[in-house]
């Protein structure tokens, strides 16, 4: 996985991916990584919006529960979903750009010993996102797209912008 702004992401090549992200901009950022994921077995987790259904019509997709922003019932539903999905798909790595749907999948992946890669959104330069704060301790690799973001997350790796 490599961003346009330089600095590659070095992972032992995973065979099976679970790509988790909210629809809209978060999904767009995952889709921008196509050169990295297109030759691998992959499953997507996102919301059943028209945009996501259209963009992922040829992909294996599992629809998550939403809304997720500070919604405890859907957090619990997505936690149960994550347990089943991770057991069934057995990915080598879970990759997410956020938002809240990432947290239950990272929590379960970490408990199962599955690597996790989080890519912080490109439009938050001076403050940490809630999902970034929650997923940072659960991330095998935490990536940011701007140098300014690196100081917000200890150990973050700058990979450059992907959009």
Asked if residue 109 lies in contact with residue 116, where contact means CB atoms within 8 angstroms, the answer is yes
Residues 18-45 have pLDDT tens digits of: 999 999 999 999 999 999 999 999 999 9
Asked if residue 89 lies in contact with residue 45, where contact means CB atoms within 8 angstroms, the answer is no
pLDDT at 97: 94
Structural domains of the chain, ranges and CATH numbers in brackets: 20-158 (3.40.50.2000)
Token pair 């809209």 is found at 24
Residues 46-103 have pLDDT tens digits of: 999 999 999 999 999 999 999 887 899 999 999 999 999 999 999 999 999 999 999 9
Nearest to 23 by CA among 49, 55, 56: 49
In whole angstroms, give the CA distance from residue 153 to residue 119: 12
Residue 16 burial by Cβ neighbours in a 10 Å radius (0-12, 13-18, 19+): middle
């Amino acid at each position: 996985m490599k961003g346009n702004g330089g600095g590659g992401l070095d992972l032992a090549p995973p065979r099976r991916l679970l790509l988790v992200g909210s629809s809209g901009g978060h999904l767009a950022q995952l889709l921008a990584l196509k050169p990295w994921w297109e030759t691998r077995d992959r499953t997507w987790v996102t919301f059943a919006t028209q945009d996501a259904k259209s963009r992922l019509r040829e992909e294996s997709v599992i629809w998550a529960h939403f809304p997720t922003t500070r919604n405890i019932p859907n957090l619990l539903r997505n936690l149960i979903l994550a347990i089943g999905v991770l057991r069934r798909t057995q990915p080598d790595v879970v990759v997410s750009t956020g938002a809240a749907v990432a947290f239950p999948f990272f929590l379960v992946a970490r408990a199962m010993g599955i690597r996790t890669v989080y890519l912080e959104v490109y439009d938050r330069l001076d403050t940490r996102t809630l999902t970034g704060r929650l997923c940072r301790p659960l991330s095998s690799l935490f990536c940011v797209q701007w140098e300014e973001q690196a100081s917000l997350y200890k150990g973050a790796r700058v990979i450059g912008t992907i959009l």
